[in-house]
Structure 1
Amino acid sequence: MSETERRWAQQALARMRAARAAEEPVPLRRYPVPEGWGVALYFRDESRRPAGSIKHRLVQRLFEDAVARGDVRQDTTVVEAGAGNAAVATAYFAQLIGVPSIAVVPGKTSAAKRARIARYGGVCHPFDPPAAIYDEAARLAVELGGHYLDHLHGAAHAEDWRGPDSVGASLLAQVVAAHGGPPAWAVVGVGTGMTSATLGRHLRYHGYPTRLAVVDPENSAYWPSWVTGYAGYGTGMPSRIEGIGRPRVEPAFLPSVIDLVMPVPDAASVAAMRHLATATGWSAGPSTGANLWGALRLVHRMREGGEKGSIATVIGDGSPDERRLDPGPYAETIDRFLAGGTWTEPTP
């Protein structure tokens, strides 16, 4: 690395450190569980990150590593695959340090999703079939002499699960401060698998009694993989819930640290997302709806068992997604539960 390249790397890393230092604290929000139930439900609002989602911190760590290693230099094009939150965060950090970025997106990606990437200077590269965008991103990075960020593989090593700075550790610390002790349950979705893997190991390492639950949407490989113990499980179909669910088990997923995986119907995720907006005014995406659905099921479980305490989860992003699903029956489940404590799910 030349002196010019070294100086640029130092400046790029300094910009990222300064951006992190300037961030507003991520708030912890309390959802209004009925009084007298003895269970509190908390959300850490990761949508308040500058890039708007829980992927912000993951992508920042991948950028820091790539710059420090010399994989990203001042003339390097950074390439990522996908049209979701990771692609938006990639464009954000590329713009921050002054390098170009390309998101390889499925050909049918909506104009709204493309606009979120373009907002930070990212260029969309449409490609089909959708399952091949990862190979295309790797090929394009080689062709351009660029760097394929590949957050799905990088997530396995991006976070320090022992320390206090990961999303999971920060969530736990906030709930301990707010509630006076660790939560009975932590609930997260799985996209890359990083959040559940770091949180689960952090819980065990520090001796927390908190149990870890994962919510998984339709068409995702994680729930059947966890049930069967087969890491090679694949569905061949993409998730309809942005940010969580994968047609294959990603490298960061660590099933051994998870206590419970709950499959969540996609319509239930949308129903819970809309309920959250109505009940609290919080704007969130359907992955957060899946978290709420899973958390409310655990509230019911705790009440049935006479258990008191708290449940911790996250608002993963702030982008509502109006999928063409029928959330009505699942909305009735939520309303009935909060009104009278009875949990009955629609028959599929």
Structure 2
Amino acid sequence: MNEIQQQQSTISAPSEGVLDAIGSTPLIHLRRYLESADVQLYAKLESCNPGGSAKDRPARTMIEHALQTGEIDENTTVIEATSGNMGIGLAQACNYYGIPLICVVDPHAQPQNIGIMEAYGAIIERVTQPLYGDYLKACLTRVQELLQQIPDSYWPNQYANLQNPQAYEQGTVQEVDAALQGEIDYLFVATSSVGAARGCQEYFTKRGRQTKVIAVDAAGSLLFGGPGGARRIPGLGSGNIPPLAAGQDFDRVVRVTDLDCVTGCRRMVKYESILAGGSAGGVLEAVRSMIPELRTKVCAAILHDSGTRYLDTIYSDNWVEQELRYPVEELEMRIEQPSRVNKSFSTQKPVRFSPHFLEHATV
């Protein structure tokens, strides 16, 4: 296995405004996280975007595209359903361009994320009851109501907007590919709107590359034909099948539990001194669960956000014990043991979304 050579750092020119600072996030060689020394694992730290997550990229791209096409201007009210990071990215972009924003959130949205959106000037619309057992359906229904009530309003629709995957195709994965000089055997990415996974997949497909894209989903998600169920980690999985998922092929789907995400986050900070966000912990444990297959391979993982927004949940012993019903003493042992990601949740066959899965989508 050829060791990827580190590129010499260069001094960047000043950014022309905060949105220009989005992208060019660090790619870190993780030498301690895995038990195996013969797997090269690199982590793309999207938390280093100015808004704190990977969602800065599609948020900026969607808003600027809508401005360029004349779909919105400073008099338009942008309305979106969001669990947090997309709302922060949109709030930053809309505030920069002087555009009003309403974020429709559910009860699981992190209080800190809501506070950040409000600090950027966003108006928060809260949904308190699920629709047909799903909060996303309730949020999307409320978005439609607001669009009818508010003149000159606009829905970016992160779940169907092609600018979402294009932001990852033209930014995130291109940066990873350039840094690793095209030597990527496996790319691991969390799925929710499926924008990131789709953008990465399309990047490699258009270039005829054999890189395997591993979609990491939540155990309680309806994506990929999942049975659905309770999920506590925002930004991972979905209770709806988004239109961006239509016709998409992924080499494998690995489903992770909330406890897998906590384990990955705690292990990451212990061994790499990186405070990773919830979905990132799940992505990292998905990598660790596949170590036998990954030996001698070059792997990259996109880590969507930082653990600083999960201090009251994933990094709180009380939350783990009360909400996940898991003793902290056992969690410490779990961190040191081989990954417990349930192989029965994983499918090794390429996965294609069919129209059947989209029948009940409300977006």
Q: CA deviation at 1:25?
A: 2.8
Q: CA deviation at 1:315?
A: 1.5
Structure 1 equivalent of residue 30 of structure 2? 31
1:170 & 1:255 partners in 2: Cα distance?
Answer: 25
Specify the code of the residue in structure 1 equivalent to 2:85.
N
8 Å Cα contact 2:190/2:217 also seen in 1: yes
Q: CA deviation at 1:247?
A: 1.0
Q: CA deviation at 1:97?
A: 0.4
- 135-144 or 182-191, larger mean C-alpha shift: 135-144
Map 1:163-242; keep pairs closer than 5 Å. 165-176=170-181, 181-224=182-225, 235=228, 237=229, 239-242=231-234
Which among 127, 136, 147 is matched to residue 141 of structure 1?
Answer: 147
SS of match in other structure, 2:183: coil
Structure 1 equivalent of residue 239 of structure 2? 247
| TM-score, length of structure 2 as denominator length | 0.76
SS of match in other structure, 1:219: coil
- 25-34 or 210-219, larger mean C-alpha shift: 25-34
Structure 1 equivalent of residue 358 of structure 2? none
2:250 & 2:112 partners in 1: Cα distance?
Answer: 35
SS of match in other structure, 1:284: coil
Specify the code of the residue in structure 2 equivalent to 1:149.
P
Q: 1:58 to 1:327 in 2, by over 3 A?
A: farther
Percent of aligned pairs with the same amino acid:
21
Map 1:78-89; keep pairs closer than 5 Å. 78-89=78-89
The answer to whether the aligner puts 1:151 opposite 2:164 as a matched pair is no
Q: 1:109 to 1:189 in 2, by over 3 A?
A: closer
Map 1:262-341; keep pairs closer than 5 Å. 262-303=254-295, 308-318=296-306, 319-320=309-310, 321-322=313-314, 324-325=323-324, 326=326, 332-337=333-338
8 Å Cα contact 2:109/2:234 also seen in 1: no
2:166 & 2:343 partners in 1: Cα distance?
Answer: 42
SS of match in other structure, 1:103: strand
Specify the code of the residue in structure 2 equivalent to 1:221.
L
Q: 1:164 to 1:248 in 2, by over 3 A?
A: closer
Map 1:113-128; keep pairs closer than 5 Å. 113-128=113-128
Q: 1 or 2, which has the higher helix percentage?
A: 1
Specify the code of the residue in structure 2 equivalent to 1:126.
R
8 Å Cα contact 1:193/1:250 also seen in 2: yes
2:331 & 2:224 partners in 1: Cα distance?
Answer: 20
The size of the alignment, in residue pairs, is 309
8 Å Cα contact 2:54/2:305 also seen in 1: yes
Q: CA deviation at 1:114?
A: 1.8
Cα deviation 1:102-155 (Å, max 9, x = unaligned): 11122564532321211211111112323311121122133222212221121x
Q: 1:23 to 1:197 in 2, by over 3 A?
A: closer
Cα deviation 1:220-279 (Å, max 9, x = unaligned): 012436xxxxxxxx73x5632211100122111256431110111210111111111121
- 74-83 or 263-272, larger mean C-alpha shift: 74-83
Q: 1:22 to 1:107 in 2, by over 3 A?
A: closer
SS of match in other structure, 2:124: strand
Q: Which runs of 5+ in 1 are unaligned?
A: 1-15, 226-233, 338-342
2:189 & 2:283 partners in 1: Cα distance?
Answer: 6
8 Å Cα contact 1:238/1:246 also seen in 2: no
Cα deviation 1:147-175 (Å, max 9, x = unaligned): 12221121x443448x9723222222222
Q: 1:108 to 1:32 in 2, by over 3 A?
A: closer
8 Å Cα contact 1:103/1:124 also seen in 2: yes
Q: CA deviation at 1:60?
A: 0.9
Q: 1:91 to 1:57 in 2, by over 3 A?
A: same
Cα deviation 1:47-98 (Å, max 9, x = unaligned): 1111111111111111012112222111112111123111111111111001
1:169 & 1:223 partners in 2: Cα distance?
Answer: 26
Q: Which runs of 5+ in 2 are unaligned?
A: 1-14, 130-134, 345-363
Q: 1:330 to 1:175 in 2, by over 3 A?
A: farther
SS of match in other structure, 1:104: strand
Q: 1:245 to 1:76 in 2, by over 3 A?
A: same
Q: CA deviation at 1:45?
A: 0.6
2:69 & 2:140 partners in 1: Cα distance?
Answer: 22
The answer to whether the aligner puts 1:21 opposite 2:20 as a matched pair is yes
Q: 1:255 to 1:263 in 2, by over 3 A?
A: farther
| TM-score, length of structure 1 as denominator length | 0.80
8 Å Cα contact 1:242/1:287 also seen in 2: yes
